[in-house]
Structure 1
Amino acid sequence: MSFLVLENVHVYYGGVHALKGVSLTVEQGEIVTLIGANGAGKTTTLRAVCAQVKVREGRVTFQGRDITNQPTHEVVSLGIGHVPEGRRIFSRLTVKENLDIGAFSVRDKSLVKRRLEQVFACFPRLKERLNQKAGTLSGGEQQMLAIGRALMSEPSLLLLDEPSMGLAPVVVEQIFDILKDLNQRGTTLLLVEQNAFQALQLAHRGYVIQNGEIRMADAARTLLENEEVKAAYLA
């Protein structure tokens, strides 16, 4: 039984058929990346897992449980965290307040404190800026905060949408090192990333999506050497 399964998933935006029978799997402990051009359906795929868009046909299962179109907060409670494209932090709130929002459903204060310390172990810079307004952080720090906020729900599966977007290369390296470390600590990752080369270097497996359909699936190293992938995404 695969950890996460999307099976023949169809999603529409009005009359636009955004996902046309997307099927993919993520095994526990893996890093899987989904690459493709802008508008190919990458973000929509992640949003379908979190029920932020309605799946019209097909189904999504997590640890054998059908979660298709379940309310987003219930999906989070099952162990799925989501770091959205563009970070979407609350810029007028402090770093601490943003992190607290990530643990909105946790009533045990000692548990919240323990999770905060786990986030600080990954992102020491956030601890240094705990009472700073999130909107005054650098782009890299805001991305760290977005990931940290998702980690506050202690997910077993983390969905990441374009974590390198708008960041300097040295910061991108830092973020990807952190993602690798999270995976080594046991978090499964499904990664959507504009930097296909970086994503395929990090991932165990990859999928290529075009016009809402999965066109290719293979080991990440194999996709890195694929001439079609090189020409389209690695040039």
Structure 2
Amino acid sequence: MLELKDVHTYYGHIHALQGISLKVNEGEIVTLIGANGAGKSTTLRTISGMVKARRGEVLYQGKPIQRLDAHKIVAMGIGHVPEGRRIFPRLTVEENLEIGAFLESDRKIVQERKEYAFQLFPRLYERRTQKGGTLSGGEQQMLAIGRALMQNPKLLLMDEPSMGLAPVLVDFIFETIQNLNKAGKTILLVEQNARIALQIAHRGYVLQTGRLTFSGPAAELAARPEIQEAYLGGH
């Protein structure tokens, strides 16, 4: 479904991604793990068109998308749940969700997708008239995921969905990710909590200062001593 071929991305003179090549097959959860500053968020931002690759190719369903504007990439079926949630604090929960469906003109479809988001996250339904900025961190994360789902993406890019959440909410968010995958969503997950990410993913990649150092089935990565030591707290 998604393939990156020798992708190089820069911020000014900083060479953030140095020849990244990875694949995400339809129906998979693939996780990207690595230390802070390794380039994980940059990888997702490059896929979704928020930053442009200077070299290399980003292919979605076999078509190159690295030169497309972000809204065209959304229209092709890629949703992005950004790091830090990035909801609109002064808009209500319902308005935030509706903005997620900005490319959909059929009000009936928008309403159906809103109802789906409320089924997935009943807390959002209870808070639907509240301003986004008044929600807890966990509720804001639910809203960010719900908003990304409003365009009915086939591929979901998720950037640090558990960041700053209480353990009980972390479990709920990861359970939701698994349920979305079972319902047919393909997911590329960036996650600081490497242990739980490797537990739910089919495959993984390890990113170190802009380069991929390891890749393979998630269980195999979790069993590697160097990965346990660096990212899983050792044994």
Tell me which interval the TM-score lies in, with the shorter structure as reference length.
over 0.9
The residue that corresponds to 1:183 in the other structure is 181
Q: Write out aligned runs for 1:132-147 (5 A).
A: 132-147=130-145
- Map 1:27-176 onto structure 2 (within 5 A): 27-176=25-174
Q: Would you identify which runs of 4 or more consecutive aligned residues in structure 1 move more than 2 Å? A: none
Rounded Cα–Cα distance in structure 2 between residues aligned with 1:77 and 1:137 = 28
1:25 corresponds to which of 23, 26, 43:
23
Unaligned 5+ runs, structure 2: none
1:27 aligned partner, one-letter code: N
Name the amino acid aligned to 2:185: T
Whole-angstrom CA distance in 1 between matches of 2:130 and 2:67:
36
* Structure 1 residue 69 displacement after superposition: 2.4
Letter in 2 for 1:219: P
> Structure 2: how far apart are the matches of 1:213 and 1:154?
31
Residues 1:11 and 2:3 are matched in the alignment: no
Indicate the residue corresponding to 2:225 in structure 1: 227
Q: Which amino acid aligns with 2:163?
A: M
Give, as a single letter, the amino acid of the residue that structure 2 aligns with 1:152: M
Write the letter of the residue equivalent to 1:200.
L
The answer to whether 1:204 aligns with 2:202 is yes
Partner of 1:171, secondary structure, is helix
The 10-residue stretch of structure 1 (118-127 or 90-99) with the greater mean CA deviation from structure 2 = 118-127
Shift of 1:105: 1.1
Identity across matched positions, percent: 61
Aligned to 1:178, the other structure's residue is in SS state helix
Matched positions, count: 233
Q: TM-score, normalised by structure 1?
A: 0.98
Cα root mean square deviation, aligned: 0.5
How many Å apart are 1:160 and its aligned residue?
0.3
What is the CA-CA distance between 1:54 and the residue it aligns to?
Answer: 1.3
Q: Deviations over 1:121-156 (max 9, x none)?
A: 211111111101111111100000000000000000
- Which letter maps to 1:208? V
Unaligned 5+ segments in structure 1 are none
Q: In the TM superposition, what whole-angstrom CA distance separates every residue of 1:165-187 from its partner, at most 9, and x where no partner exists?
A: 00011100000000000000000
Corresponding residue of 2:216? 218
Report the TM-score when normalising by structure 2. 0.98
* AA at the equivalent of 1:68: Q
What one-letter code is carried by the residue in structure 1 that aligns with 2:23?
T
Aligned amino acid, residue 39 of structure 1: G
Amino acid at match of 2:170: V
